[in-house]
């Protein structure tokens, strides 16, 4: 069996290789790669390994970028720290997922599962795409837990649960907390929306993204529009267009 390790921490990669060869003496570790670029180059110019052990956070980004840049037909065992829901999702999709620090037991289980599912990646042309989609779906399901902001020469995390709404002012996205604190963000509102759980936040229009916990009441407005009032004041009236009124009410009611 030929194995490829993709892990940017050299000490961790060496420990993983030692575990692998100890459990499976006949295994050949083809390479130990530290970056997306090196991984893409290797996979594009070499025969597919029988199994890949892959960390998610690499030196030059998230390893799921690999699947966008080259076709991956090998089964993958992800090795990192992530929440339990993601682990369950990957297992349900037939992809193993082990947490650091590694142990003989978890690596053995990964090999056992990979061998049972060896035909899956050979038969499924969209395996790599499925991995990427699964991660995106899981990220949306859980939602970003906090946003890092910079103010008064200091960085500080703002828990997402404390954010009442996001809005654009002077072409810059801002967040507003339930206690009225306001912080500018470096990412566009479209990106912020993608990172949030859609059950918790609703995109009213191009300017406002509001949290469910901040909704106070909704009134009928002119031309079948809605007037939304939050638990804290906003700089302008929040209007829900008639084309969004049904989806907005569904969002409010879908608890």
Torsion of CA 230, 232, 235, 238, to 10 degrees: 0
The segments of the chain whose pLDDT lies below 50 read: 84-85, 87-89, 91-94, 121-123, 134, 138, 140
198: helix, coil or strand?
A: coil
Which residue in this structure is represented by tokens 């609703």? Answer: 202
Domain with CATH 2.40.50.1020 in the chain: 146-253
Regarding beta strands 215-220 and 208-211, do their DSSP bridges make them parallel or antiparallel, or are they unpaired?
Answer: unpaired
The tokens of 87 are what?
A: 């682990």
Tell if the pTM clears 0.95, that is, is over it. Answer: no
Question: What is the pLDDT, as a whole number, of residue 84?
Answer: 45
Domain with CATH 3.40.50.2300 in the chain: 2-142
DSSP alpha helices (H): ranges in 117-199?
A: 118-123, 127-142, 189-195
DSSP state of 242: T
pLDDT in tens, 30-61: 999 999 999 999 999 999 998 999 888 888 88
CATH of 2-142, one of 3.40.50.2300, 3.30.450.40, 1.10.220.10, 3.90.320.10: 3.40.50.2300
pLDDT in tens, 64-99: 788 888 888 888 888 876 554 354 435 433 467 777
Question: What is the pLDDT, as a whole number, of residue 203?
Answer: 95
At the top level of CATH, the class of 146-253 is mainly beta
- Under 8 Å between Cβ of 54 and 76: yes
Question: What is the pLDDT, as a whole number, of residue 152?
Answer: 85
Cis amide bond preceding 101, omega within 30 = yes
């Amino acid at each position: 069996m030929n194995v490829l390790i993709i892990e940017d921490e050299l000490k961790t990669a060496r420990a993983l290789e030692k575990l692998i060869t100890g459990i499976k003496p006949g295994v050949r570790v083809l390479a130990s790669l530290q970056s997306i670029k090196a991984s893409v180059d290797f996979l594009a110019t070499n025969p597919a390994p029988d199994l890949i052990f892959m960390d998610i956070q690499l030196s030059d980004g998230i390893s799921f970028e690999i699947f966008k840049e080259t076709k991956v037909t090998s089964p993958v065992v992800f090795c990192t720290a992530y929440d339990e829901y993601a682990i369950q999702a990957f297992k349900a999709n037939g992809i193993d997922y082990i947490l650091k620090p590694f142990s003989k037991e978890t690596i053995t289980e990964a090999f056992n599962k990979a061998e049972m599912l060896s035909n899956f990646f050979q038969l499924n042309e969209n395996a790599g795409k499925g991995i990427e989609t699964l991660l995106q779906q899981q990220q949306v399901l859980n939602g970003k837990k906090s946003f890092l902001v910079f103010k008064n020469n200091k960085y500080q995390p703002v828990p997402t649960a404390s954010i009442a709404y996001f809005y654009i002012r002077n072409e810059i996205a801002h967040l507003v907390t339930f206690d009225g604190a306001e912080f500018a963000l470096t990412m566009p509102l479209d990106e912020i929306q993608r990172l949030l759980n859609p059950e918790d936040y609703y995109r009213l229009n191009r300017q406002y993204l509001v949290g469910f916990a901040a909704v106070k009441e909704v009134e009928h407005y002119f031309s079948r529009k809605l007037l939304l009032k939050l638990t804290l004041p906003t700089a302008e009236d929040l209007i829900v267009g008639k084309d969004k009124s049904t989806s907005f009410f569904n969002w409010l009611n879908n608890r």
